[in-house]
Amino acid sequence: MEAEIIAVGTELLLGDILNTNAQFLSRELAALGISVHYQTVVGDNAERLENVVHRARQRSDLLIFSGGLGPTEDDLTKQTVAKAYGDELRFDEEELKKIQGFFRAWGRTMPENNRRQAYVPVNGRKIENHNGTAPGMIFEDTREKGKYAVLLPGPPKELQPMFLQTVRPWLASMSDSVLYSLTLRVMGIGESHLQEKIGHLLENQNPTAALYAKTSEVVIRITAKAKDLQSAKDLCSEYADRFYKILGDFIYTQTEDSLEETVVHILKEKGKSVATAESCTGGLLSARITAVPGSSEVFEYGACTYANHVKEQVLHVKHETLEQYGAVSPQVAAEMAEGVRRVSGADFGVGITGIAGPGGGTPEKPVGLVYVAAACADTTYVQKLVITGRTREIVRLSSTQRALDMIRRLALQLEQPGCRMFPAGTPADFPQDVQIKDV
């Protein structure tokens, strides 16, 4: 089945709002195995709308419209689509009562305009709207079976539940197979390196697997088609095993959870806590951890120690260490992690120090050089990042991403790839052969 998405609304053409409906509907249709070939936005203009509908109806089996059903919008969309699909509209008393009920609940009287929203298809079906006054509708072409148009209201709070509750099951029922998707999130391997390792797994027919690169992580989406849900799930999970065999603990979750959510959940489960000491990331790491509801169970203290004297005063980083190696050094990162762990009494301490840019870089210590340290009772690990050609924002985000992964590995007692052990009190020069990451 080939589909297209048509949004009706001048506010989209003026750039006043973002077309989030197109993304939502596209993603949902993709998950159902329905290809979307076009997205179109057109204004509330009879001639242009008619042309768009006419053309789309010719080339696609399924049109999904968003918007154009409001009380001020003249019924243009409904009438145009009804005509194109050989249907007509009728006034629905039951629908009118529902609309009046909404206004009663809001303590207002219904404006006359809203009567228009009670017109529904004669041959097609209406879709109930539990969150607003405009009903949706499904038209089937009366002259060419198997061609459909679905009309949904524009507000996402109305469109999304209507799609999920009514349209999705209806579309799924038309297919003799079921689709299921599973997501693996991968942290600590760059995209190109990952392509090399698992490229051969991305060319499968069923399940399919696709890579999506995000900042400092990669998402693998596995999608299987089968005759029933359980078979599709089994196919996905068997195929996921092949990724696990290659990537192992570089896969940090098989859910929709972000890395910070994953880390907070693991810490809770293990009954461990973490404290953070941040220089160049300035509190971004603690902000990400505390963005997770319930993080107070595993996080009590974060220190944003931007100035050197604050590193000494608050974290007890040694003056000599700062003098000898400079603030951006593996030694200082390690002492920050150890210091914040000690003063907070947390199980794990993290320290981040680096040069986020755009200023402050030198040939020896360029912009994008960041040291991330993670300390537990007996060991401190330090990772050196060299994040070149990226913005301050990306350098900071990538550094916190690495820090979160180090906490995850500490809590799960996993290896810390690319890290050096850094025994406290051994201010040896950081080895130069350390892995330079592609973030």
Q: Closer to a second copy at the Cβ: 137 or 346?
A: 346
Q: Which stretch binds a second copy (CB under 8 A): 144-152, 166-174, 196-204, 357-365?
A: 357-365
Round to whole Å and give the CA distance between 271 and 266: 8
Shortest Å distance, C-beta 413 to a second copy: 25
Contact 434, 418 (CB under 8 A): yes
Round to whole Å and give the CA distance between 263 and 57: 48
Contact 93, 148 (CB under 8 A): no
Q: Which stretch binds a second copy (CB under 8 A): 9-17, 183-191, 411-419, 420-428?
A: 9-17
Contact 201, 161 (CB under 8 A): no
Shortest Å distance, C-beta 287 to a second copy: 4
Round to whole Å and give the CA distance between 43 and 13: 7
Shortest Å distance, C-beta 360 to a second copy: 8
C-alpha dihedral sign at 290, 293, 298, 301: positive
Q: Which stretch binds a second copy (CB under 8 A): 16-24, 83-91, 329-337, 375-383?
A: 16-24
Which residues from 274-293 bind a second copy, rule CB under 8 A?
A: 276, 278, 280-287, 289-291, 293
Q: Which stretch binds a second copy (CB under 8 A): 138-146, 305-313, 370-378, 404-412?
A: 305-313
Instruction: Tell me if 20 contacts a second copy by CB under 8 A.
Output: yes
Which residues from 371-410 bind a second copy, rule CB under 8 A?
A: 388-389, 392-393, 396
Which residues from 142-201 bind a second copy, rule CB under 8 A?
A: none
Residues in Cβ contact with 80 at an 8 Å cutoff, skipping those fewer than 6 apart: 46, 49, 50, 53
Instruction: Tell me if 223 contacts a second copy by CB under 8 A.
Output: no
Round to whole Å and give the CA distance between 417 and 420: 8
Q: Which stretch binds a second copy (CB under 8 A): 27-35, 236-244, 261-269, 372-380?
A: 27-35
Instruction: Tell me if 207 contacts a second copy by CB under 8 A.
Output: no
Round to whole Å and give the CA distance between 21 and 28: 11
Instruction: Tell me if 222 contacts a second copy by CB under 8 A.
Output: no
Q: Closer to a second copy at the Cβ: 73 or 87?
A: 73
Q: What are phi and psi of 319, to 5 degrees?
A: -55, -40
**Alpha-carbon distances of 12 from 131, 306, 389, rounded to whole Å:** 22, 43, 35
Q: For residue 12, which of 67, 49, 80 has the smallest C-alpha distance?
A: 67
Instruction: Give the binding-site size for a second copy (rule: CB under 8 A).
Output: 73
Q: Closer to a second copy at the Cβ: 154 or 302?
A: 302
Q: Closer to a second copy at the Cβ: 49 or 187?
A: 49
Instruction: Tell me if 310 contacts a second copy by CB under 8 A.
Output: yes
